[in-house]
Chains A and B, each alone.
Chain A
Amino acid sequence: MSVPQSAIALHRLVKVYKSTRAVDGISFAVERGSVTALLGGNGAGKTTTIAMIMGLVVPTEGLVRVLGAEMPRQRNRVLHRMNFESPYVDMPMRLTVRQNLRVFGKLYGVAALEDRIRQLASELDLTEFVDRPTGKLSSGQKTRVSLAKALINRPEVLLLDEPTASLDPDTADWVRSRLQDYRRERDATILLASHNMAEVERMCDRVIMMKRGRVEDDDTPPNLLARYGRHNLEEVFLDIARGRREAREAAQ
């Protein structure tokens, strides 16, 4: 496989847990500087796919490349150029925001670290509580801290699992704006898994729909809306999740 221009490339990727085929032979490439959504119902294989891209899970078959490095075998070549944020992973609660960012900044080898922390604190509106223990913050503030950690090394590839889960609409909107700014400023590649269809429509250039471990559809949001004859992605999502497209095609 030769896809040097892609930030992320998956080729016939399979993951089997005991008897469950969590990911079943998916292939796609994510272009540099794009924002791509990975959508699907619970158990569709999104989290396993992202975990394989991050090198946390070894594929049963197939190949994952991130910035040209095969994951997880060559992960040490690229981990400092990537980062991620997920509501299923926490920052150490007893450490202050500044201490957490300092530790992760050092792990990622960030130069002029204290300046970078100041910059992120200002951009993500953390300055007021930067010296407070992370565990004492509200869930919206914690999400912003996790985002600061995800951006500390100015990643070229950013993987986001439900970046606005459990946030109020105002904070969620604010987080989306910051991510769009970051993508614009750094020409970063963002791959996000989300159940928020409005978020996907607003942020993403492309949507990959997964179902039962397979890619069910893959296109830009306008093309998906046109193809399914729907007004929003939520309706498209429901069509795919409930197999309405196949039913319609079978009827025709």
Chain B
Amino acid sequence: MSIKSEQASAHVTFSFRRVGAMVLRYWYLLRSSWPRLLELIYWPAVQMLMWGFLQLYISENAGFFARAGGTFIGAVLLWDILFRGQLGFSISFLEEMWARNMGNLMMSPLRPVEFVTALMIMSLVRLAIGMVPVSILAMAFFGFNLYGLGFALAVFFLNLILTSWAVGILVSGIVLRNGMGAESMAWTIMFLLLPLTCVYYPVAILPVWLQPVAWSLPPTYVFEGMRALLIDHVFRADLMLWAFGLNIVLFAGAVFAFLKLLDSARKQGSLMQTGE
């Protein structure tokens, strides 16, 4: 393809080539830094081991937990999909802020939707690097086979990753608009969902007034669905459909908010400033 025809295609609405360029950029970065790679596996492994041993201990001392085999490890692995999915998205975004590279990207033909797509792909790559070895460790240490959940795992994963991307997109928009002073949100916002989405206990444990809040969050349905599968051996398709419906609303809202925040950043002149 000649330069002219190649460049003429540069203003098409969506370009997989540009998405590929950004994925390549993050892949080069990951490859160049072993601490970054180690960090992807380290915390999920520590979490899984701690909760796994705790579950082992109480299952030997309580009849209910003996029946609910794998609930804690399942919960911690699914929680990590939610948490690490968002973190993987947000860290790739923050790498551009830390590198003072955002001006270069915003001035390039890269579209916001392509940038977000590349960040979503990188969150999957980072998740795979961290979660695959840890899920194998869970099998070796505690005999918990995450992949044994089969189709249910695919549905759980889809719903959790959609939520994690929605939160990642929203946080990125806020950082873009408000600068690095908002960086801590990327590390902490998901912990707000930890008690509310009932990762380790059923929704019924929450006070009655808080339960509607829990049911408004898509991951709550996934964790309830996981307990139904592991304790009662029932796959709750109804819960998954609710989660998916809420996720569509959440994701669309996050994309809308991101574009509005980007627009506001252009008005405030904050795209050239990457400091506090």
Contact = CB atoms under 8 A, between A and B. Distances in A.
A95 B272 contact: no
B116 to A, nearest CB: 15
A88 B104 contact: no
B233 interface: no
A84 interface: yes
A205 interface: no
Nearest to B20: A106
A103 B24 contact: yes
B3 A110 contact: yes
Contact of B107 (A17, A79, A88, A92): A79
Contact of A107 (B18, B29, B266, B272): B18
Interface residues of A, number: 43
B205 interface: no
A79 B109 contact: yes
Contacts of B25: 92, 95, 99, 103
Nearest to B102: A89
Interface residues of B, number: 41
Contacts of A55: 107, 266
A80 B106 CA distance: 12
A217 interface: no
Interface string A49-82: 0010011111000000000000010001101111
A110 B268 CA distance: 32
A94 interface: yes
B29 A89 contact: no
Nearest to A99: B28
Interface string B244-276: 000000000000000000010011110110000
A157 to B, nearest CB: 11
A88 B103 contact: yes
Given A77-B11, A92-B25, A109 B6 contact: yes
Contacts of B61: none
Contacts of B11: 76-77, 79-80
Contact of B10 (A80, A84, A104, A154): A80
Contacts of A34: none
B109 A91 contact: no
A54 B29 contact: no
A56 B271 contact: yes
Given A56-B103, A103-B24, A110 B33 contact: no
Interface in B14-32: 15, 17-18, 20-22, 24-25, 28-29, 32
A117 to B, nearest CB: 14
A89 B100 contact: yes
B2 interface: yes
A143 interface: no
Contacts of B108: 79, 104, 107-108
A103 B100 contact: no
Interface in A1-18: 15, 17
B188 interface: no
For A47, A77, A82, A99, the residue with the greatest tally of chain B CB atoms inside 10 Å of its CB is A99
A93 interface: yes
Interface of A: 15, 17, 47-48, 51, 54-58, 72, 76-77, 79-84, 86, 88-96, 99, 102-104, 106-111, 133, 149, 153-154
Q: Which 7 A-B pairs have the closest CB atoms?
A: A106-B21, A80-B10, A89-B103, A90-B100, A109-B10, A111-B6, A103-B25
